[in-house]
Amino acid sequence: MDAHLALGRYGEELAARYLRDRGIRVLERNWRCPEGEIDIIALDGDCLVVCEVKTRGGTVTGDPVEAVTWEKVSRLRRLAAAYLRSRPGSVAHARVDVIGVLAVRGRPPVVRHVEAVGA
What's the first-to-final CA gap in the chain, in angstroms? Answer: 36
In a domain, 119, yes or no: no
In a domain, 52, yes or no: yes
Give the chain's domain count. Answer: 1
In a domain, 11, yes or no: yes
In a domain, 95, yes or no: yes
Q: Give residues with Cβ within 8 angstroms of 15, minimum separation 6.
A: 39, 40, 51, 53, 99, 101, 111
In a domain, 18, yes or no: yes
The string of pLDDT tens digits covering residues 62-119 is 889 998 999 999 999 999 999 998 887 777 789 999 999 999 989 999 999 999 987 6
Q: pTM surpassing 0.85?
A: yes
Q: Any idea what the CATH number is for the domain that residue 38 is in? A: 3.40.1350.10
